[in-house]
Amino acid sequence: MQVLKQQHNVCANDFAMAGAASAAVKKTLNQLGFPSAFVRRTSIAMYEGEINMVIHADGGTADVEIAEDYVKITLTDKGPGIADIDLAMQEGWSTASESVRELGFGAGMGLPNIKKQSDELEVISVAGEGTTLIITTKVNEQ
């Protein structure tokens, strides 16, 4: 299988459309016949990242690389960045506003959930410049 590459825009402040990019990737993975448990955890990891981009970072881009035995998702934003990545990886820690919590997010589970669902996670963030998440899921892991 050739490596398939996709790019999706994640729109800023469009909460109704948040998750559309993850849904499109999930559809592609299902069409390609990946195992359902793999598709589910890949989709959940990307969805959590996509929601973070809408909540915290005025949107961004999602570059997705689909190979026979792995999926690599690179989420890039030009948001405020993460001041303390170790703190952000702790369950329950969140800077989300009350209005975001009313929308069902901001429980401080986003990054920890991404880590649990993925096989590799790299977080590159510069305060004031933006954040890049590189999420890799492997077919034969977990």
Region of 33-41, 56-64, 80-88, 130-138 interacting with other proteins (CB under 8 A):
33-41
User: Regarding beta strands 70-77 and 4-10, do their DSSP bridges make them parallel or antiparallel, or are they unpaired?
Assistant: unpaired
Under the binding rule (CB under 8 A), the answer on residue 104 touching other proteins is: yes
Region of 3-11, 12-20, 57-65, 128-136 interacting with other proteins (CB under 8 A):
12-20
What DSSP designation does 13 have?
T
Percent composition of the chain: helix, strand, coil (DSSP 3-state, to 5): 35, 25, 35
- Smallest distance, Å, CB 112 to other proteins? 8
Under the binding rule (CB under 8 A), the answer on residue 1 touching other proteins is: no
Tally of CB atoms within 10 A around 105: 19
Under the binding rule (CB under 8 A), the answer on residue 116 touching other proteins is: yes
